[in-house]
Amino acid sequence: MNNENIKIISKEILSDNWYTLNKITFQYHKRDGTVETLSREAYDRGNGATILLYNKALQTVILTRQFRLPTYINGNETGMLIETCAGLLDKDNAETAIKRETEEETGYKITDVKKVFEAYMSPGSVTEMLYFFVAEYAKEMKVSEGGGHHNEQENIEVLETPFADAVTMISTGEIKDGKTIMLLQYAQLHNLFNQ
């Protein structure tokens, strides 16, 4: 952290239950020369990675469906969300983490992944950087049923979906997850299925 216009005054932990919620008070030197003191809350859950698995021959993608409490309490009547496979890095690098998460969640053991970009998903309140990957999959890569890691209380349904249907599901509202929309649109923009 080397922004000379920012000076951290204090950091207070508000919650350290599931992840860490901090209240940070800082001084911000504005362009007009004035200094403003502000307090903001920042949720730190670590960084993560996500991946779009695709099969050119079948014209399909692998997605997941699982319950997401925050969407449920914000009006998603079932709380179920269709997403690309994703997970936290924990102490791994992004590539190692996404290979691990892919096998745990989808049951596919992949070796070749391509990082396509990285993004902050909710920079106003969450510190997380998300690393985005794509990888081709084939039936012979399936080593288990997937469904998530039992110790992490995951209950994930694996969906093999035609790519065209997945893209349509964005406009119908069946897919509302930001990372998933971004990766599906990446696949469209870069013609992953026509290479």
- 27 and 13 in a single domain? The answer is yes
- 31 and 58 in a single domain? The answer is no
Q: What is the pLDDT of residue 1?
A: 60
Domain count, the chain: 2
- 107 and 55 in a single domain? The answer is yes
Give the separation between CA 195 and CA 136, rounded to whole angstroms. Answer: 12
Q: Where residue 144 falls among pLDDT bands split at 50, 70, 90?
A: confident
The answer, yes or no, to whether residue 154 has pLDDT greater than 70, is no
The DSSP secondary structure of 6-72, one letter per residue, reads EEEEEEEEEE-SSSEEEEEEEEEE-TTS-EEEEEEEEEE---EEEEEEEETTTTEEEEEEEE-HHHH
Residue 83 CB partners (closer than 8 Å, separation 6+): 50, 63, 64, 65, 66, 177, 179, 180
Work out the average pLDDT over 59-65. 97
8 A C-beta contact, residue 175 and residue 159? no
Q: What is the pLDDT of residue 152?
A: 59
118 is in an annotated binding site: no
| Residue 1 resides in a domain | no
Q: What is the pLDDT of residue 182?
A: 98
pTM more than 0.85: yes
Q: What is the pLDDT of residue 172?
A: 97
8 A C-beta contact, residue 114 and residue 135? yes
User: For 83-138, how does the pLDDT look when each residue is reduced to its tens digit (9 = 90+)?
Assistant: 999 999 999 999 999 999 999 999 999 999 999 999 999 999 999 999 999 999 99
Distances (CA, A) of 2 to 6, 8, 90: 8, 11, 25
The answer, yes or no, to whether residue 153 has pLDDT greater than 60, is no
**Residue type, position 145, single letter:** E
- 85 and 156 in a single domain? The answer is yes
Instruction: For CA atoms 49, 55, 56, 58, give the dihedral sign.
Output: negative
154 is in an annotated binding site: yes
The answer, yes or no, to whether residue 64 has pLDDT greater than 90, is yes
| Residue 179 resides in a domain | yes
Chain-centre distance of CA 164, in angstroms? Answer: 22
**Residue type, position 172, single letter:** T
Residue with more model confidence, 103 or 148: 103
| Residue 194 resides in a domain | no
- 24 and 90 in a single domain? The answer is no
Work out the average pLDDT over 156-183. 97
Domain range enclosing 111 = 48-189
4 is in an annotated binding site: no
The answer, yes or no, to whether residue 158 has pLDDT greater than 80, is yes
Span of 2-6, 111-115, 148-152 with lowest mean pLDDT: 148-152
Query: Rg of the Cα trace of the chain?
Result: 19
Structure tokens at 111: 């070796």
CATH, residue 118 = 3.90.79.10
136 is in an annotated binding site: no
